[in-house]
């Protein structure tokens, strides 16, 4: 399918910093699908949505590739209680909370998890914060994590940084992550390439599975 021109341009701009080229160790790899919920993805949502169709289609493609090779696909859902009792400063920072059990909290139907696929419920940006994600990865002997989803500069970036802190090798998909503004997306790719992750594409990862 190739890489879209916009992603090629971004990769070229960060190339001087995106120098830690890594080849995926398929037998030690897991895919993290971050917050691909109706709140962020669907046109009916009052959140970010709709994100670029390319992000959704590339996320679906990389999910299918991981499933085909029987590698773990792990989803996250960012949710809160209706009364905001678990929101903390997020409840002050943002006007809208994703209420657990609501339609907006559900994973988009086009990429819904299978019954045997792990879903992490989280209350902060990072998928590692006060969740069992690290335990799940360690028990599966995962060393490489591939990150896709939303929002690039919040939950995806926070999760990538914390994965790096825990000595996982991080592969961050430039064309399967999305956020509200292109400048924020570009800034995250630059920052992560400088100190935390190898910025790559859906095409590259799928070709290695």
Buried b (16+ CB within 10 A) or exposed e, 114-149: eeebbebebbbbbbbeebebeeebeeeebebbbbbb
Separation CA 126–CA 129 (nearest Å) = 5
CATH class of 5-17+25-207: alpha beta
The Cβ of residue 180 has, within 10 Å, a number of other Cβ atoms equal to: 16
How would residue 1 be classed by pLDDT, with cut points 50, 70 and 90? low
pLDDT single digits (tens) 148-191: 999 999 999 999 999 999 999 999 999 999 998 899 999 999 99
Report the chain's mean pLDDT, rounded to a whole number. 94
pLDDT single digits (tens) 19-39: 999 999 999 999 999 999 999
93-97, long-range: CB < 8 A, 24+ apart? 96/39, 96/46, 96/47
pLDDT single digits (tens) 84-121: 999 999 999 998 899 999 999 999 999 999 999 999 99
How would residue 47 be classed by pLDDT, with cut points 50, 70 and 90? low
Residue owning tokens 């809160």? 80
Residue bearing the bigger pLDDT, 1 or 137: 137
How would residue 3 be classed by pLDDT, with cut points 50, 70 and 90? confident
Does residue 52 register a pLDDT over 60?
A: yes
Separation CA 151–CA 158 (nearest Å) = 10
Which segments of the chain does DSSP mark as H helices, in order?
A: 5-14, 38-41, 53-68, 89-93, 133-139, 157-165, 182-195, 202-207
E-strand spans in 56-142?
Answer: 73-78, 119-122
Does residue 203 register a pLDDT over 80?
A: yes
Which residues, at least 6 apart from 82, have a Cβ–Cβ distance to it below 8 Å?
99, 100
How would residue 49 be classed by pLDDT, with cut points 50, 70 and 90? low
For residue 34, give both structure tokens.
């971050």
Domain coordinates in residue numbering, the chain: 5-17+25-207
**What does pTM read for this prediction?**
0.96
């Amino acid at each position: 399918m190739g890489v879209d021109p916009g992603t090629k341009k971004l990769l070229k701009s960060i190339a001087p910093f995106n120098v830690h080229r890594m080849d995926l160790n398929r037998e030690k790899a897991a895919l993290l699908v971050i917050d691909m919920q109706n709140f962020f993805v669907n046109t009916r949502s009052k959140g970010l949505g709709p994100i670029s169709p390319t992000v959704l289609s590339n996320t679906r493609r990389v999910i299918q590739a991981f499933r085909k090779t029987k590698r773990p696909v792990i989803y996250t859902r960012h949710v809160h209680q209706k009364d905001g009792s678990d929101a903390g400063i997020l409840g002050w920072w943002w006007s809208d909370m994703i209420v657990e059990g609501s339609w907006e909290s559900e994973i988009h139907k086009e990429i819904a998890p299978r019954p045997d696929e792990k879903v992490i419920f989280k209350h902060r940006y990072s998928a590692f914060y006060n969740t069992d994600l690290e335990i799940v990865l360690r028990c599966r002997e995962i060393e490489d994590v591939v990150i896709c989803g939303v929002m690039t500069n919040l939950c995806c970036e926070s999760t990538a940084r914390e994965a790096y802190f825990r000595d996982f090798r991080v592969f961050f998909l430039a064309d399967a992550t999305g956020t509200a503004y292109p400048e924020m997306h570009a800034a995250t790719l630059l920052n992560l390439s400088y100190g935390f992750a190898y910025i790559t594409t859906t095409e590259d990862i799928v070709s290695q599975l």
